Amino acid sequence: MRIKARYSHLNGEEYLLVHRKQLWQEVQEVIAEVDASACRTKISQEKNMRGKLLFSPSAMNQKFKDGLQARGWSERRSTFWVTDDDKLLRGIYGLSADEQKQAIEDAGRTPIMSYNQTDFVKDRVAVEVQFGKYAFVAHDLFVKHLSFYVSDIIDVGIEILPMKELEREMSSGVPYYERDLLNVLRQGRGVPAVPLALMGIAP
C-alpha cells in the first residue's frame, strides 16, 4: 500500500519528524509492506455488490498487526473508574486508578471500572488503523488518542485511514480519509487537543 495523503494536526507530524523519526519511518515501512491485492478476499453479500470481491478489513488489519508487532509495537490499556457524579469525576480524573476507586467509594458511590485501549503503542506514540465503521474514527481521535495524551501515556497519535478509492472497494460503512479530514478541520485548530498525524492510504 501507499500513503496518498496526510495531515498534521497540532504539529503531530512535525513532532514525529523531530522527536520520533525512527518510529515515523517504521509506520511508513509497514504501510509499504502491506500487499493490498492479497487482502482482496471478501465476497460481498450486500444487495448492491453481491458476489463482488472486496478488500477484507480483517485481512488488512492482520497485515498491519504483523508488521507493527514485529517492530515492537504493542497494545496498551489505561484503566480508570467512573460513577454518575460529574463533580466527583472532575475531581478524581488525574488520580491513579486505585485512588479513583477509593474516592468514589468514600463518597458513597458505586465505582464502575472502565478502560481505554489502543492497538499499537511504542515509545509514547500510538497508532490506530481504522478499517471498521466510520463512527470508530471519532472514538479513536476524541477518546483513545486524547485520553492517552491527557493521561501522559503518549505525546502524539497516528490515525491510518483508507482513501475513498480504497473505501469504494470495501463493505459499506467504512470510514475514508477525505471525510474524516473534514471532520477534524471543522472542529477548529485546537480540537481535539492532542497532536495527530492522519494518513490516507490506498492500494
Grid cell at residue 156? 502524539
- 74 exposure class (CB count in 10 Å sphere: 0-12, 13-18, 19+): exposed
pLDDT at 42 over 90: no
Predicted pLDDT of residue 146: 92
Predicted pLDDT of residue 180: 95
Predicted pLDDT of residue 181: 96
Grouping H, G, I as helix, E, B as strand and the rest as coil, residue 139 is: helix
Dihedral angle, C-alpha 86, 90, 93, 94, nearest 10 °: -170
The whole-model pTM stands at 0.88
Predicted pLDDT of residue 133: 82
Neighbours of 181 (CB within 10 A): 17
What confidence category does residue 200 fall into, taking pLDDT thresholds of 50, 70 and 90? very high
Residues 152-187 pLDDT 10s? 999 999 999 999 999 999 888 889 999 999 999 999
CA dist., res. 85 & res. 107, Å (int): 10
Higher-pLDDT residue of 150, 70: 70
- The answer to whether the CB of 155 falls within 8 A of the CB of 193 is no
Predicted pLDDT of residue 173: 85
Domains of the chain in sequence order: 2-73+118-202 (3.40.91.20)
CA dist., res. 180 & res. 192, Å (int): 13
pLDDT at 51 over 90: no
Residues 95-106 pLDDT 10s? 889 999 999 999
Residues 116-127 pLDDT 10s? 888 899 999 999
Grouping H, G, I as helix, E, B as strand and the rest as coil, residue 122 is: strand
What mean pLDDT do residues 81-107 have? 93
